Homo-oligomer: A and B are copies of this chain.
């Protein structure tokens, strides 16, 4: 059984069904009946008017968001280990026309207001230095930590005070919300977030992510950027179908709760081994090479995480029954 990444999981059957049901003639690009329902569906979820663009990847969602918030000569503050900095091949630089990522530290890839403030205060306000225009955080973080509504609100307040836009990379937003049981609005726009990359691909989707603009006005230019980047699919109805199916009956939350519960079981077995608290569906544990080998011999696979550690990621597909034997094996190490 594989715990490499939730990316590797299959597509949820309800999503495949929704794709099959969308398979009829309709207007191309985003002129179809399903795409037309997206704004209302997400506005309902977030309890305010939003504009939503479907895109095929989280990298595209994040980059379009950053391009909406920062001009080429400006900067975007993020964590040193943020996905946009470390794992997107410089996509933010491409989409923004050369804007700079300005890095801060923080345990578990979490960003706190004081580190951002310290960075801001170190920048001279003159034309020689890149001036920051936005903050981007990841929730859940790259290490599986979550932000509480209060933590996001503290950052949001700082952003407002310093004139910064505020983006949330929610590649695992569902896991974060499922974990904290907060309302999705409380951890986003009510806390000052301007744009959310709302991920579905890691949560049972096929190729659909939602880019949510809490200020619908900001979506206008992004629509051009999306086309210009080759992300306006001609059969966009198949992306809209996935997103709508996820919202229906809260499938997005159900899937995330399943993944989180599986992670919880593994984490509870790994007391003393955890590199980070397990708050979503990622588990980072100390594991010697021989311990890793013994787990692999039992049929479990996962990434090594540097020397003496490993990363396991659970997905919507992992039931308690699936992961309990793994948990027991870890406990016995």
Contacts and interface: CB of A to CB of B under 8 A. Distances in A.
Contacts of A73: 89-90, 94, 221, 224-225, 228
A20 interface: yes
A238 interface: yes
A7 B23 contact: no
A94 to B, nearest CB: 5
B8 A94 contact: no
- Total identical chains: 4
Contacts of A96: 98
A313 to B, nearest CB: 11
Interface in A227-260: 227-235, 238-239
A87 B231 contact: no
A23 B8 contact: no
B23 A5 contact: no
A218 interface: no
Interface in A37-96: 55-61, 63, 71-73, 75, 86-91, 93-96
Contact of A72 (B20, B59, B97, B239): B97
B230 A90 contact: no
A100 interface: yes
A127 interface: yes
24 contacts: A7-B28, A8-B26, A11-B238, A16-B19, A55-B230, A56-B233, A57-B230, A57-B231, A57-B233, A58-B230, A60-B231, A63-B230, A72-B90, A73-B89, A73-B225, A87-B128, A88-B228, A90-B99, A93-B100, A127-B223, A127-B224, A127-B226, A128-B232, A231-B231
